[in-house]
Structure 1
Amino acid sequence: MKLYGYWRSSAAYRVRIALNLKQLSFENLPVHLVKNGGEQHSDSYKALNPAELVPTLVDGDFSLNQSLAIIEYLEEIYPQPALLPLEAGAKAQVRALALDIACDIHPLNNLRILQYLTGSLALTEQQKQQWILHWLHCGFTAFEQRLSASAGHFCFGDTVTLADICLIPQVYNALRFGLDMSPFPTINAVHHQCLQLAAFALAAPEHQPDAQ
């Protein structure tokens, strides 16, 4: 398998964690999102992923974009260790937690959104920072409340799930952008617990070959 990604991409980070948890070997192929005007805009990468986003997974003749779709594909092909509960209600709850991050929190501080804010909309760096912190705080406030009903050692009980895979890259972003994490003790506890696991630690941005 080949994974096209970027060291600091939250979405690629999610897929790296899942691959590591399932102990799957893969070739890490960097797509630099900033250099040369953004390598994701190159003709060769656009042919692979017309959305010009990372990650893209290539497994033989099969290729797939969207991190959650990739992880669910891996879950179907390599079901152990399971990243989703078996019971329908529990599975739906884990997916909802993952989507809280991937659909509602992450997109608002994604690179192309931030570039648009300071580019076409001509916001200052200070205004961009206010935007980032506002939406992170809103999203994490709701997520912290959800975890109060579901968390054990991890987001959903005492087993790593898709929800943890989505949360940890988002906490990385929050810390990078300087969000005050003190109002979120459950998120912090889950984050600490996950980082004790090799699969999460090895997937961290600073450990990637293209890290800068």
Structure 2
Amino acid sequence: MTTTDPFALFDAWFAEARASEPNDSNAMALATATPDGRPSLRMVLLKGHGPDGFVFYTNLDSRKGGELAANPQVALLFHWKSLRRQIRIEGPVAPVADSVADAYFATRSRDSQLGAWASDQSRPLESRATFEARFAGMQARFEGRDVPRPPRWSGWRVTPERIEYWQDRAHRLHERTLFVRDGEDWTKGYLYP
């Protein structure tokens, strides 16, 4: 696909990944760093995307939440093995609006909603039984009513400044296309494999 719009290309590749990947085609590696530059990497799920950025959700008190608040620069990586493709995205993050987080939280399964209340994500856990007891406590607390979004659970939007598309080719002669934000526009170029 030839395009100067990195988001149109993302839409096309993401649609193919949704059709071919057996599990979690929206899984992406999220790289953060502490204020002193110590890196951290984990998988998260893409829950929204478009020209305004790429959205994921987490507990704001988790390790990643703390790192995002202290150093709001990230890198994302999508790797679709079945397609032999990957996309790298770099840029700053900012919290999504409360209304956006509320709307997404309302779409989660009830058990996922309760789990967000029960979990002190990234904190030490004495035993699985402790977490299961907390989950049961949340089931009782919200019995018969809607589960609201916890105040320390929200989303982040990555505003891309660089997007690189990598396509596997025979003999390691891979194809790499780089888009770099230039004000409101994008410049497109290529990288040696």
Choose between structure 1 and 2: higher strand proportion: 2
Determine if the TM-score, normalized by the shorter chain, exceeds 0.5.
no
Which structure has the highest helix share of the two? 1
TM-score (norm 2): 0.24
Greater RCO structure (CA 8 Å; 6+ sep):
1
Q: Which has the larger radius of gyration?
A: 2
Task: Please give the TM-score of this superposition, normalised by the length of structure 1.
Answer: 0.22
